[in-house]
Structure 1
Amino acid sequence: MAVVTMRQLLDSGVHFGHQTRRWNPKMKRFILTERSGSYIIDLQQSLAYIDKTYDFVKETVAHGGTILFVGTKKQAQNAISEQATRVGQPYVNQRWLGGLLTNFQTVSKRLARMKELEELDFDDTSKSGFTKKELLIKKRELDKLHKSLGGIRNLSKTPSALWVVDTKKEHLAIDEAKKLGIPVIGILDTNCDPDEVQYPIPGNDDAIRSVSLLTRIVADAAAEGLIQRHQKPEPRATSRPSSPWPSGSRSCSPRAHPPPMSRSRTSRPALRPRRSPTPRLRPPMRPSPPLRPPMRLPSRLPRPRSSRPRQTRPPPPDSPFHDGGRTRRACGRPAPVTVGATSTTSKNRRHLGALGFLPEAPPRRVSEPQSFRTKRSSQNHGKFQPR
């Protein structure tokens, strides 16, 4: 039996789509034709999708699931609240609060706060224990919570599925449901994306009659699922009871029973000797290597050698071991200066000069300290003279 007829869909205007310039190419397979600048939705496909959605909602609610009705646009607010309240399902017909599904722990705390404020008596100030101003502030807080969270006050966990009226307007709810893996059931107009919805229903999501009809169908499916949930299962047929044996039957006579066995030791069967378990053969162990004697460390470790050649100080020139500066030349120092048969370096020039082997070096010229001179610039033009 069909859930809804074609005449009901036509009377409610479910087949009317948006204008041709406002469409999504992915909805092309659901469009029947174009008329007066607007698209016409194929209601044959809508009927098939409605039946599929009806079965899914019924099975979900029958197994203990909940359907969250979402519709915040003006055309759907009244229908969402009425149909969801009729079947006892949560709903959101005002602004969708961000994190309603992904941050449900915080939302549950606000629900507990709302239930706590509902227990206060705002008419009698003496019993409440608060002043009039405090009660007024709490009353405003309660009204705000009722407006935003009043439809989900009995929601103790995340819902099993979402019924969304306008998928473009309720994109936040669809994104959160997609993150949590919650299936989405929604009305798809010609400007919507069918890939965002798992159970689509092609139809008009702007007309009040169309939204009311489709929402009522989903609510009826939830009501039928609740009936199946609370309906007691029929007891299964038990096996055929065994009839009592007749008194004259042969099986009831004492001769039919075998004689009792005597409990003498001779009648017992001989016990077989217990077999010992077969020992497991382990592979032969490899001989361990001989222990090496402990290595003795030297008392004094050798000094690491440097890559730079060791520089030795040559003997003085008057020494018989003087080699004419070859040692310094090998070490990379400047070549010595040879005076006659004597070679010297810059280090002992003063010593040889004092002995008379070298001429005296002229005294070093020391220049007098110069005065500070300022830099010339394009603005001074040489006006300033040195101090």
Structure 2
Amino acid sequence: MAVEVKELLEAGVHFGHLTRKWDPNMAPYVYMERNGIHIINLYKTAAKIEEAGNALAKIASSGRKILFVATKKQAKDIVAEKAGAIDMPYITERWPGGMLTNFVTIRKAVKKMASIDRMKKDGTFMTLSKKERLQVDRLRAKLEKNLGSISDMTRLPGALFVVDIKREHIAIKEAQKLNIPIFAMVDTNSDPRQVDYVIPANDDASKSIDKILSHVTSAIAEGLAERKAEKEGSDSDEAPKKAKKAAKKAVTSEEEE
């Protein structure tokens, strides 16, 4: 899907931070300075969205998950909605320390959540005292808030998509340690060298975040559709082979008789 500069402009993607707050490493993506604010070059943003989109589509078509991270107020709901729509995990509450570097522990917490759910289904939960039930409910709610969206993530993600790399610096460091590719919206006050796929953009305005996320998740959806089509194609190719094999087996067994 082609990215129009006009739509990025209308969404306010071009507004950077105050010039005194800028990171000089963002210079290649800055178009000009206006009224003490840096203006981002939207032609470069459009090109970077397409580049990131192509790479994310490949990761999605390979069957790997892309973990979205955005805990700032104006990004939370947008990320939860967009990532949820394409069935990708996301963190919109506090980043759980060791989420990636100590993934085994995080998986244990997710399993704990699943075991509480089983207790409620099989009736074990009702055998507990009122106080114990209250404690278990509180634990379940806490786990759901922090880990609910990653409960289906059984292995480390194939990539990270971050909104505001300054705010999510712990997530960035963990991904770097494990060589997990980082895709991010990077504003003029951040260092783009921390990111593998930089999308220079206003990461404070909800309209800007929504616009970038729409393009990114659309590219991922295309990758998922491609994977599904390939899978269905290989299944249909496999059916005649299986039938042929079964027929051959039947003939052989008849001859043996």
- The answer as to 2:198 corresponding to 1:200 is yes
Amino acid at match of 1:61: A
Equivalent residue for 2:178, pick from 171, 177, 180 = 180
Aligned position for 2:88: 89
Aligned position for 1:119: 118
Aligned position for 2:108: 109
How far, CA to CA, are the matches of 1:145 and 1:76 in structure 2?
Answer: 21
The Cα RMSD (Å) is: 1.6
Amino acid at match of 2:196: Q
Deviation at 1:126, TM superposition (A): 8.4
8 Å contact kept, 2:125–2:133: no
Aligned position for 2:249: none
Aligned position for 2:145: 147
Deviation at 1:51, TM superposition (A): 0.7
Aligned position for 1:63: 62
- The answer as to 2:30 corresponding to 1:27 is no
Report SS of the residue matched to 1:119. helix
Q: Evaluate the alpha carbon distance shift between residue 138 and residue 127 of structure 1 in structure 2; reply closer, same or farther with a 3 A threshold.
A: closer
Amino acid at match of 1:26: N
8 Å contact kept, 2:17–2:188: yes
How far, CA to CA, are the matches of 2:225 and 2:178 in structure 1?
Answer: 28
How far, CA to CA, are the matches of 2:78 and 2:190 in structure 1?
Answer: 21
Question: How is 1:358-369 mapped onto 2 (pairs within 5 angstroms)?
Answer: none
How far, CA to CA, are the matches of 2:132 and 2:14 in structure 1?
Answer: 53
How far, CA to CA, are the matches of 2:124 and 2:171 in structure 1?
Answer: 43
Equivalent residue for 1:130, pick from 125, 128, 131 = 128
Amino acid at match of 2:233: P
Deviation at 1:215, TM superposition (A): 1.3
How far, CA to CA, are the matches of 1:172 and 1:64 in structure 2?
Answer: 26
Deviation at 1:170, TM superposition (A): 0.4
Aligned position for 1:226: 224
Please identify the structure whose Cα radius of gyration is greater: 1
Report SS of the residue matched to 2:20. coil
Question: How is 1:1-387 mapped onto 2 (pairs within 5 angstroms)?
Answer: 2=2, 4-121=3-120, 128-231=126-229, 232-233=232-233
Q: Deviations over 1:74-133 (max 9, x none)?
A: 0110011101110000000000011000000011000000111123339x9887211111
Q: Evaluate the alpha carbon distance shift between residue 12 and residue 132 of structure 1 in structure 2; reply closer, same or farther with a 3 A threshold.
A: same
The percentage of aligned residue pairs carrying the same residue is: 42
How far, CA to CA, are the matches of 1:127 and 1:42 in structure 2?
Answer: 57
How far, CA to CA, are the matches of 1:127 and 1:55 in structure 2?
Answer: 47
Q: Deviations over 1:175-234 (max 9, x none)?
A: 000000000000110011011000000010000010111112111111111111111337
Q: Evaluate the alpha carbon distance shift between residue 148 and residue 127 of structure 1 in structure 2; reply closer, same or farther with a 3 A threshold.
A: closer
Structure with the largest fraction of helix: 2
Deviation at 1:29, TM superposition (A): 1.0
Report SS of the residue matched to 2:183. strand
Report SS of the residue matched to 1:149. helix
Deviation at 1:7, TM superposition (A): 1.6
How far, CA to CA, are the matches of 2:219 and 2:87 in structure 1?
Answer: 12
Report SS of the residue matched to 1:233. helix
Report SS of the residue matched to 1:121. helix
8 Å contact kept, 1:15–1:43: yes
Q: Evaluate the alpha carbon distance shift between residue 127 and residue 55 of structure 1 in structure 2; reply closer, same or farther with a 3 A threshold.
A: closer
How far, CA to CA, are the matches of 1:57 and 1:125 in structure 2?
Answer: 43
8 Å contact kept, 1:125–1:131: no
Instruction: Report how many residues are paired.
Output: 233
8 Å contact kept, 2:29–2:41: yes
- Runs of at least 5 residues in structure 1 that lack an aligned partner in the other structure: 236-387
Amino acid at match of 1:158: L
8 Å contact kept, 1:174–1:196: yes
- Following TM superposition, where does structure 1 have runs of at least 4 consecutive aligned residues deviating by more than 6 angstroms? 124-127
Aligned position for 1:258: none
How far, CA to CA, are the matches of 1:59 and 1:49 in structure 2?
Answer: 16
Larger RCO (CA under 8 A, 6+ residues apart): 2
Amino acid at match of 1:131: S
Q: Evaluate the alpha carbon distance shift between residue 81 and residue 126 of structure 1 in structure 2; reply closer, same or farther with a 3 A threshold.
A: closer
8 Å contact kept, 2:66–2:158: yes
How far, CA to CA, are the matches of 1:178 and 1:137 in structure 2?
Answer: 37
